[in-house]
Structure 1
Amino acid sequence: MKYVKADDVFPEDLLKEIQKYIHGELVYIPKPKGARKRWGECSGIRKYLNQRNNDIRESFRKGYTIDQLCDKYCLSFDSVKKIVYSNK
């Protein structure tokens, strides 16, 4: 995250109003609720993990044991069990 100079962004009236509350400090202004992305959406990891979990469920339906899936995906027994028995 880079810093943006308030003089360059805010209209003068708004900047003066903000300075009544805080001046010379750093202020974080968050994105609006609807504009925030969920964890992993930018990097693609969310999509990757959803696909991996679907592959694990499909393999389990085809007859692979949880132990075999643990070895194949390098996950713990509890992690694979949680994925396999989730309601997705």
Structure 2
Amino acid sequence: MKYINAEKMLPKELLRSIQEYTQGSYLYIPVREEDKKQWGECTQSKKLVQERNEAIVSANHSGVPVKTLAQLYHLTEHSIRRIIRGHR
């Protein structure tokens, strides 16, 4: 996270109001709820995980054992079974 000097960003009146509560400390300002993004929304991570999971399910339906899939995808057998159960 990159810190920005409040003097360079905020209007003087607002800065003075904030200084009534805190001075010389770091202040985290969270993103508004309506502006929050879901996991994977900004990157292709979510899509890649979905594609991987579909490939796992498809391979299992074709007869590839859970143990082999776990080794192939570097996941635990428990994770492979959970993925397969979730796609039924």
The answer on whether the counterparts of 2:57 and 2:87 sit within 8 Å (CA) in structure 1 is: no
Q: What are the residue-to-residue correspondences of 1:9-88 with 2, within 5 Å?
A: 9-87=9-87
Gaps of 5+ in 2: none
Mapped partners of 1:16, 1:71: distance in 2: 59
SS of corresponding position for 2:38: coil
In the aligned structure 1, how far is the partner of 2:74 from the partner of 2:28? 39
Cα distance, 1:58 vs. partner?
1.5
State the match for 1:7 in structure 2.
7
**Shift, 1:57, TM fit:** 1.1
**Structure 1: gaps (5+ residues):** none
Identical amino acids, percent of aligned pairs: 33
Structure 1 residue 55 displacement after superposition: 0.8
Measured after TM superposition, the shift of residue 32 of structure 1 is: 1.1
Over the residues paired in the alignment, what is the CA RMSD in angstroms?
1.9
Q: Separation in 2 of the partners of 1:74 and 1:19?
A: 51
For normalisation by structure 2, the TM-score amounts to: 0.81
TM-score normalized by structure 1? 0.81
